[in-house]
Structure 1
Amino acid sequence: MTTADGEMRFLAAIPILRIFDEAKAREFYCDFLGFTIGFEHRFGPGMPLYLEVHRAGLKLHLSEHHGDACPGSTVFVPMKGVAGFHRELIDKRYGYNRPGLEDLPWGQQVEVNDPFGNRIRFCEQSD
């Protein structure tokens, strides 16, 4: 996008993460992480799913399409309130992921691993 004075600026990046199982994706991203479905798309019945999830200003696209993304990707998400988010996740007692809250030189971070090998690092960066 170019502004009136000709300056270009980027508005947002939306990571695309590869998924292989719709039920596991919904359980992890919606039930565990607390995301809401933005939209769902299939080219036809029995075709791969492409879906958007969102929460608190963050959007992620999840795709069953072979060429959209590589399993095992890492997404870094700067955020505020990471300690509260960590408590929320731990309180859910999700059987497949109990992330820690790490104190790192650049801030506090919670890393989760989805059922498809992708990692999301939620980080409240130090000032």
Structure 2
Amino acid sequence: MRCATPVLRIDGDEDARRFYVESMGFTIDWEWRHEPHFPVFMSVTRGAVTLFLSEHEGDCQPGGAVYMLVDDVDALYEEFTSKGLVAHMPPTTQAWRQRECVFLDPFGNRLTIATPQQG
């Protein structure tokens, strides 16, 4: 295996673009609709992280969760909050030696961003 790509349920591609592209800095790789005005399925990427975002009811349920490892959770927290995002949990050092923060997207998906702590 090479990688796994989570599929997150969305309900509105414009809200998804605002959150993932404008606020979180992802780029849209591609998007697909069977016909105009049909539900969208899109791929977004930032660095080594790719997410699939789907309006299709059968693909997944709202309220998914993704855990992303990054080099500097505090820097990303500052970047995201400077663009208006409100953290569900600010950067916190956990007992399991991960420094984590959590954001919720407009669809209830939980995005945990973490940096492993040394020592």
Aligned counterparts of 2:45 and 2:10: Cα–Cα separation in 1: 16
Aligned counterparts of 1:93 and 1:79: Cα–Cα separation in 2: 20
Aligned counterparts of 2:81 and 2:23: Cα–Cα separation in 1: 10
- 1:101 aligns to what SS in structure 2? strand
- Please list every run of 5 or more consecutive structure 1 residues that lacks an aligned counterpart in the other structure: 1-9
C-alpha RMSD of the superposition: 1.2
Aligned residue among 94, 99, 104 for 2:94: 104
Q: Which moved more, 1:79-88 or 1:62-71?
A: 79-88
| Per-residue deviation, 1:89 | 1.1
- Please list every run of 5 or more consecutive structure 2 residues that lacks an aligned counterpart in the other structure: none
Larger of the two Rg values belongs to structure? 1
Aligned residue among 38, 55, 72 for 1:81: 72
Aligned residue among 30, 42, 65 for 2:21: 30
- Code of the aligned partner of 1:42: R
Cα deviations by residue, 1:54-76 (Å, 9 ceiling, x for unpaired): 00110000000011111011111
Identity across matched positions, percent:
33
- TM-score, L = length of structure 1: 0.86
Aligned residue among 46, 49, 53 for 2:37: 46
1:12 aligns with 2:12: no
Cα deviations by residue, 1:28-51 (Å, 9 ceiling, x for unpaired): 001111100010101111211000
> Aligned pair count?
116
- TM-score, L = length of structure 2: 0.91
